[in-house]
Amino acid sequence: MLVIASDHGGAELKEAVKKCLEGRGIVCRDFGTFGDDSVDYPDFGVRVGMAVSRKETAQGILICGTGIGMSIVANKFPGVRAALVHDEFTARMAKEHNDANVLVLGGRVLAADLACRLVSIWLDTDFAGGRHQKRLDKIALLEKKLSRG
C-alpha cells in the first residue's frame, strides 16, 4: 500500500497520479484533500509523513503547488526521506542514491503525463546501497542526535 495526499494546488494532479497507480495495480490510501478549496498543506503533509515515519506504509506521495512546502513538512519526520523531483533524472536519483520513501511533486509545475512517468521511474528504481547507505546511516544518526535535544 502507498499513501498519497495533496493540498488544493495538487488535488488535480493527485487524481491523475492515483489513476496511474491503480493502472499498475497499486493500492493507494488517499489522505486528501478532495477538492480545490484552499487548505493548509501542512495538515495533509503530516498525514503522509507520520504514516511513513511510523512504518504504517513503506512509501508515500505528496503533491502541492510547487512541492516545496510538502517537502519541508515531510522531512520533519524521523526516517522520512522526501524528495522533490521535476524530471526523470531526479526521480531516478531520488530512489537510487537517496532511497527516498516519499516522492514529492508540484501540481502547478508538472503535466500529468510527466508526473506519472516520474512516479513510475521512482517505483521501478532500486536503491543502489553501497556508499549511498553509508550516507543514509549518517542522516539517521543525525536524526537520533537531534531527537535527544
Is-catalytic flag, 97? Answer: yes
Q: What number is the average pLDDT over the span 35-47?
A: 97
Catalytic residue among 20, 64, 86, 116: 64
**Which contiguous run of DSSP H or E holds residue 30?**
strand 28-30
- pLDDT tier, 147 (very low <50, low <70, confident <90, very high otherwise): confident
Residue 74 and residue 104 in contact, taking contact as beta carbons nearer than 8 Å: yes
pTM of the model: 0.96
Q: From CA 28, how far away is CA 140, in angstroms rounded?
A: 27
Q: What number is the average pLDDT over the span 55-67?
A: 98
Cell of 66: 510547487
Span 116-132, pLDDT tens digits: 999 999 999 999 999 99
Span 98-115, pLDDT tens digits: 999 999 999 999 999 999
Q: What CATH number does the domain located at 2-147 have? A: 3.40.1400.10
Cell of 74: 515531510
Kindly list the domain boundaries of the chain, sorted by start residue: 2-147
Residue 50 and residue 77 in contact, taking contact as beta carbons nearer than 8 Å: yes
